[in-house]
Chains A and B, each alone.
Chain A
């Protein structure tokens, strides 16, 4: 961008534009947009790795008799002489699939990408509050990724005690190979990951509070930003607790302390540990672990709010209710963690308390779902790929959410705890819903990220195969769960009760392979379109938010000249009488009420006076603004 840039306020970032080299532009970049792309591409690569791992263990579950020798080129000696997958490596696959998907894809890949990308663009800021911290955040994540990736290739395999890595199993290399070096790598990697999350989160919060453009009050923030803001606060409060849990686990493993360990006789030896409590770890872990569900989910819900409103050409229904329910979910998310522990030996009275709190959280979630559905009602819906993924998200959010009512009921959870019912529940409500939110975000903001469009038809193929595929994989799991099948079982042949439904398990595995293959279509579409996609117009979805007022390929600093002011909320779609004001079915946020006398609501007309006094005199963007036909 060689245009001479007019500086405003204290922002002088644009100066960097002129002497940018490859390293400062693409690697150690402090531009939030580049950092977002770094997070996104790492997230996509991780998603393929995490997905591939799940295919490997689905082969074992769906086809236990299968000769897996052909995988030896990839897994080496983890496939034994008879072509069978090693049971410990099966556990490692399950563990790494969970860790990668929850943290590396749906936390870093989703929140890291879109919080970074959208916060400055949608609130009207030139960059994050601290570009340097933002860069550090990515590079801590990168180090964390390298460690986790490397752990896959350790001789004794990566961590294998489940993604929750409960001690004592995760603390005792004698009990499980993966609890050796693999677990050390896991803990180190997660430590770096937490640092990355905290650096990012502080930045998001600070930016949203301090750097909103003139007129962008909290009551005018798009729901995406509300979601990222609340997510960042949840992360900031809960990740440090995971850090303490990991730290104490490291002490137990390396220094011989007894925080979590007590009365253990393993591998022919009584250990010296006494007085520790394994349950303590579970409390600490789930104090992050449960909010983590919302750290993953809220950004996806925020993205889908924006995408659904834009493509239904309607204001999001119940904007304030959406914010309130997000705040409600955020607060409640901190006081429901022990519903993961109903049958761990925790005092049953605590179970009672947590059952009550858990079922309360269903209320704001239900409100959100109803609001999405009402937003579609009497809309004029354009099925862009992003819109399809958002509708898919709402469907998964409901379908996975309703089973939460059963699992949150402690009496019913006794039977279903750690069965495939739980697997079905969280893969739908949190895994797939968040993944669809991420995909919706990618399709929707790809033009802003890369200045090009992704291919529609490939997007549609990707959506329908994934949407059907996800249901084909996870819906049958409810039946397997009702039959009581335990999670993390290598095979079900040892029990009379579980030597049934093998055909359903094969069906799920085939569906999983198909669903995974459909992601290759996305991978191709994404990387191909970065370089060869159709050039994007300025505002391809006729959207109201500020990011579409930037140039097609915004430079570091986002806007040329002054940052636009904000005069209205983000959801003035299909406003009655907008045609008389010279608008079609959308009025962007930077259009003053004084320009739209016919479509204003009564209370909006009252704001014109304040507008004229405080904002219009200094808003230089209006004169150059092209008024829509």
Chain B
């Protein structure tokens, strides 16, 4: 019934608008003064539009500036990694430059539109080109861009190139699947054992290969809560089990896709423990606001989070993991409580080895491995 009334209301409103439109059209046709015909080059509102090009942008710049200033502490996420301390200054320098470009060019555009609006006896200036001017504004942006590129290039190499990664990094594997993350620590040898998607079953969600001795000390976590030590480089070995995912760690300003069939990697160095960060945030007013979901102040909830950032299906928006950055002592204490997968699931592993050997004997793995060599070794596409 309400829907019916709404529909009628909508029809009524549209009808009223239409009536107003018709009446004003007719009225303007009837009421046009005979003398007005002379300057029919432009519509009567021409100056109004010129003025609006000044007024609206002024309001817009004002509002954007106000929001940008007032809510700065809200929309900037805290950061705590070595990569972030390289890219953050670059981002804000580039932002300052583009804001300047944005304001100057838009102001020129709108001001000219206003200033040179139609005048009855006005005449435009015939000005088809000026080579000097054009050379100048080709070269100036080119120089600004080149500067930005080179600074960005340096940061990019430091963060992404495997050759520049710290050699002593602790290896952790993360695997994305619909719709969660799984984490495996490399254990004492700091080497991740092999895995194969066809070894996956209800107990062995990551498809660990138990015939590989490097697997024996690997610790597979029950929940996606990665513990790392402040200041200690981590090499994340990233893979996906079903579709594309992306490991995004906003507070570290880092991100890397997880691709089925093509392992990827990321190195990060956390620079503040979770506790330190909470401590620091507790002094900021916008972090003292109570979060309605948890009933606690925002700074108390703070966690370094991993979010999936490549669309992966229904649960994409809730694919979360947490990184706990802590001191060496806290980490050691936590690690002491963890047990390698192989030790925890002895009975299962014995059976699984049989199965994995059988699959290998059938030759499938070997065949596949050789077929995949090019893809598996590098991410060089």
Q: Is chain B a partner of chain A in the same complex? A: yes
Name A's B-contacting residues (CB within 8 A).
70, 73, 87-88, 91, 161-162, 166, 168-169, 172, 175-176, 261-266, 270, 274-280, 283, 312-321, 343-349, 351-352, 355-356, 359-360, 362-363, 366-367, 369-374, 376-384, 388, 391, 394-395, 398-399, 402-403, 405-406, 409-412, 414-415, 417-419, 455-458, 460, 464, 467-468, 471, 475-476, 479-480, 482-484, 486-501, 524, 542, 571, 573-576, 585
- Name which residue of chain B comes closest to A481, CB basis: B75
A573 CA / B125 CA spacing, docked (Å): 9
**Chain B residues, CB < 8 A from A378:** 116, 124-125, 127
From A169, A315, A343, B127 is in contact (CB under 8 Å) with A315
Is the pair B316, A464 in contact by a Cβ cutoff of 8 Å? no
- Name which residue of chain A comes closest to B306, CB basis: A495
Q: Give the interface size bracket for B toward A.
A: 35 or more
How many whole Å from B357's CB to the nearest CB in chain A? 17
How many whole Å from B381's CB to the nearest CB in chain A? 5
B183 within 8 A of A: no
B361 within 8 A of A: no
A458 CA / B102 CA spacing, docked (Å): 30
Is the pair A571, B128 in contact by a Cβ cutoff of 8 Å? yes
Is the pair B153, A355 in contact by a Cβ cutoff of 8 Å? yes
From B49, B156, B198, B314, A411 is in contact (CB under 8 Å) with B156
**Chain A residues, CB < 8 A from B159:** 411, 414
Is the pair B156, A410 in contact by a Cβ cutoff of 8 Å? yes
**Chain B residues, CB < 8 A from A409:** 90, 94, 148-149, 152
Q: Known contacts A176-B313, A394-B109; is A496 also within 8 Å of B242 by CB?
A: no
Is the pair A399, B56 in contact by a Cβ cutoff of 8 Å? no
A456 CA / B24 CA spacing, docked (Å): 12
**Chain A residues, CB < 8 A from B110:** 391, 395
**Chain A residues, CB < 8 A from B308:** 486
* Contact pattern, B 50-88, Cβ under 8 Å of A = 1, otherwise 0: 101100100010001001100100111100000110110
A552 CA / B321 CA spacing, docked (Å): 66
Is the pair B198, A265 in contact by a Cβ cutoff of 8 Å? yes
* Contact pattern, B 38-53, Cβ under 8 Å of A = 1, otherwise 0: 0001110110011011
B226 within 8 A of A: no
**Chain B residues, CB < 8 A from A456:** 43
The segment from B135-143, B213-221, B340-348 that touches chain A is: B135-143
A524 CA / B116 CA spacing, docked (Å): 32
* Nearest 8 A/B pairs, CB to CB: A262-B261, A345-B264, A348-B160, A378-B125, A484-B250, A574-B124, A411-B155, A409-B152
Is the pair B145, A176 in contact by a Cβ cutoff of 8 Å? no
Is the pair B261, A169 in contact by a Cβ cutoff of 8 Å? no
From B113, B123, B255, B318, A414 is in contact (CB under 8 Å) with B255
B25 within 8 A of A: yes
Is the pair A317, B253 in contact by a Cβ cutoff of 8 Å? no
A585 CA / B124 CA spacing, docked (Å): 8
B184-240 contacts to A (CB < 8 Å)? 196-198, 200, 207, 238
**Chain A residues, CB < 8 A from B87:** 411-412, 414-415
Q: What 13 additional pairs, Cβ within 8 angstroms, besides A343-B255, A402-B102, A489-B317?
A: A169-B311, A175-B243, A315-B127, A345-B262, A346-B381, A363-B138, A373-B108, A376-B116, A380-B118, A391-B109, A399-B106, A417-B255, A491-B317
B122 within 8 A of A: yes
**Chain A residues, CB < 8 A from B83:** 414
A498 CA / B362 CA spacing, docked (Å): 49
A492 CA / B305 CA spacing, docked (Å): 13
B282 within 8 A of A: no
* 27 A-B pairs with C-beta separation under 8 A: A91-B313, A176-B314, A262-B375, A263-B261, A264-B260, A265-B242, A276-B261, A278-B261, A279-B379, A283-B381, A320-B129, A344-B257, A345-B262, A348-B160, A356-B149, A359-B146, A372-B109, A377-B125, A379-B125, A394-B109, A395-B106, A399-B106, A405-B97, A418-B310, A457-B45, A484-B248, A573-B124
**Chain B residues, CB < 8 A from A347:** 378-381
**Chain B residues, CB < 8 A from A497:** 77, 250-251, 305, 307
A356 CA / B142 CA spacing, docked (Å): 11
A63 CA / B370 CA spacing, docked (Å): 52
From A351, A366, A492, B141 is in contact (CB under 8 Å) with A366
Is the pair A175, B127 in contact by a Cβ cutoff of 8 Å? no
How many whole Å from B134's CB to the nearest CB in chain A? 5
B259 within 8 A of A: yes
